[in-house]
């Protein structure tokens, strides 16, 4: 789960008139990634319309069927359509991926900015905290957090799972944002602002926040990918999403580990779905970083 981001001022991409077009021209791979993300997002939102079957209903008459016209990706041991479960699974993956990344990056961003702005004891305390959390292997931390909080879902969303995935992101985001904020802090206009008697809150919002926005966005994208992977791993271990809710990692666990030798479609397609989603987010995140980095435009 290592993401490297350079701290850069958010000025570079505004040179052309149409930034979307400019992005596509400069970063075709990233644009392709974005396209995949948008397609998956659309599928997730309109799952009920697109998906041919009910994702949770058991159909004993259609158990373990290989891919066919009726079931393009085959069916699982309960006769549930795998394509349908992958489409609904996108909903689970994207929701958990986005919210845990957002939560982790936001909390990490706040900590990092505070650490950089206040310095001194605040910085020291936050940095020790960051060190401690970083010392836990990610999956181990998520496992323990989930074991402690249990599984609770609110309105069908696994809130505790989102927390468990967000927590390892916090210190990593805090590190990066702190570095970005430190470089801003050294700028002369910060002294001017402070001398002008503006409150800390104002200075952070007005001057620091816009400058850490670029690394924040890059981090956010990159960690959505990591969060999707982590959710898949946790669900695979039986600690994430619960059956019969459709989730990609879950589709690789349980019966699949029993049947995949004779029904390989049960693991092939969910695995591809995870890989494609993470791939797309990584591609887009990478390009976003290059795009924001002025060195790559010289």
Partner 1 sequence: MIRYAARRIALMVPTLLGVAFLTFFMLRVIPGDIVEVKLRADGGHVTEEILHRERARLGLDQPLPVQFGEWMKGLVTLDLGNSMWTGRPVKEEIGARIGLTLQVAVMAAIISVLIAIPLGTISALFRDTWVDYVVRIFTIAGLAVPSFWLGMMTILMLLTVFHWSPPVTYTSFFDDPLQNMAQLIWPALAVGYRYAAVVARMVRSSIVEVMREDYIRTARAKGVFERLVVSRHAMRNALLPAITVIGLEFAFLVGGLVVTEQVFNLNGIGRLFVEAISRNDFVLIQALVMLLALVFVSMNLVIDMLYGVLDPRVRYG
Partner 2 sequence: MTRQDVSRRAVLTILGLGALPNAVLAQGTPQRGGTLTFAVAAEPPTYDLHQTSTFAVMHRVAPHYSTLLCYEPGNYPNIVGDVATSWEIAPDLLTYTFRLRPNVRFHDGTILTSEDVRASYQRMVTPVPPVTSNRQPAFEQIASIETPDPLTVVFRMKQVDASILDTFASPWNSIFSAARLAQDPNFPVRNIMGTGPFRFVEHVAGSHWVGQRFDGYFREGRPYLDGFRAITMSPSAMVNALSGRQIMAEFRGFTPNERDLIVRALGDEARVQESSWMLHMIMTINNEKPPFNDARVRRALSLALDRWGGSASLKRISQLGEVGGMVRPGSEWSATPAEMEKWPGYGRNMAANRAEARRLLKEAGVENLTLTLMNRNHQPYVTAGIFVVDQLRQIGVRAEHQQVELAAWYAAQGSGNFEVMIDSFTQFSDDPTNVLVKYISFDRAEIAVARATDRELDALFDAQAKEIDKAKRKQIVRQFEARAMAEAHAVPILWWQRIAVMNSRVRGWSMAPTHMIYQDLRDVWLAPEKS
Q: The tokens of 67 are what?
A: 């891919």
How many CA within 13 A on the CB side of residue 140? 5
Binding of partner 2 by 259 (CB under 8 A): yes
Q: For partner 2, give the closer residue by CB, 121 or 262.
A: 262
**Distance, CA of 141 to CA of 266 (rounded, Å):** 29
- Name which of residues 61 to 90 contact partner 2 (CB under 8 A): 63-64, 77-78
Among 170, 225, 247, 288, binds partner 1 (CB under 8 A): 225
8 Å CB contact between 62 and 79 = yes
Q: Strand, helix or coil at 197?
A: coil
Among 20, 39, 147, 186, binds partner 1 (CB under 8 A): 147
Site string for partner 1, 9-48 (x = CB under 8 A): --------------------x-------------------
Residue 201 backbone dihedrals phi, psi, to 5 degrees: -60, -45
Among 255, 271, 279, 293, binds partner 2 (CB under 8 A): 255
Binding of partner 2 by 155 (CB under 8 A): no
> How many residues touch partner 1 (CB under 8 A)?
46
- Name which of residues 228 to 257 contact partner 1 (CB under 8 A): 229, 232-233, 236-237, 249, 252, 257
Binding of partner 2 by 295 (CB under 8 A): no
Site string for partner 2, 198-237 (x = CB under 8 A): ----------------------------------------
Distances, alpha carbon 13 to alpha carbons 31, 133, 259, 294, in Å = 15, 34, 50, 8
Q: For partner 1, give the closer residue by CB, 119 or 196.
A: 119
Query: What does the DSSP assignment read for 134-166?
Result: HHS-HHHHHHHHHHHH---EETTEEHHHHHHHH
- Name which of residues 131 to 150 contact partner 2 (CB under 8 A): 147, 150
Binding of partner 2 by 257 (CB under 8 A): yes
Q: How far is the CB of 258 from partner 2 (least distance, A)?
A: 6
Please report where in the chains the tokens 């049960």 appear, as a residue. Answer: 266
Provide the b/e sequence for 153-171 (b: ≥16 CB within 10 Å). Answer: eeeeebebbbbbbbbbbbb
> CA 86, 88, 89, 94 torsion: positive or negative?
positive
């Amino acid at each position: 789960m290592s993401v490297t981001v350079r701290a850069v001022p958010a000025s570079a991409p505004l040179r052309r008139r149409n930034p979307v077009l400019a992005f596509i021209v400069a970063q075709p791979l990233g644009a392709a990634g974005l396209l995949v993300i948008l397609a998956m997002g659309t599928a997730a939102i309109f799952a009920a319309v697109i998906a041919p079957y009910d994702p949770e209903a058991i159909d004993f008459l259609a158990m373990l069927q290989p891919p066919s016209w009726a079931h393009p990706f085959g069916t699982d041991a309960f006769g549930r359509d795998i394509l349908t479960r992958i489409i609904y699974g996108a909903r689970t993956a994207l929701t958990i991926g986005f919210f845990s990344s957002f939560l982790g990056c936001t909390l990490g961003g706040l900590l990092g900015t505070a650490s950089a702005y206040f310095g001194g004891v605040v910085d020291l305390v936050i940095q020790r905290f960051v060190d401690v959390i970083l010392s836990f292997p990610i999956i181990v931390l998520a496992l323990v957090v989930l074991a402690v909080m249990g599984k609770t879902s609110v309105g069908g969303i696994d809130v505790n799972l989102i927390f468990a995935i967000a927590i390892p992101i916090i210190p990593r985001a805090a590190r990066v944002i702190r570095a970005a904020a430190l470089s801003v802090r050294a700028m002369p206009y910060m002294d001017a602002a402070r001398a002008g008697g503006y409150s800390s809150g104002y200075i952070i919002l007005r001057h620091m926040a816009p400058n850490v926005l670029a690394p924040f966005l890059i981090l956010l994208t990159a960690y959505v990918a990591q969060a999707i992977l982590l959710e898949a791993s946790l669900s695979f271990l039986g600690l994430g999403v619960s059956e019969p809710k459709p989730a990609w990692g879950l589709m690789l666990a349980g019966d699949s580990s029993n049947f995949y030798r004779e029904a390989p479609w049960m693991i092939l397609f969910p695995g591809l779905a995870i890989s494609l989603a993470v791939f797309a987010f990584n591609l887009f995140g990478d390009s976003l970083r290059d795009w924001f980095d002025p060195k790559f435009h010289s």
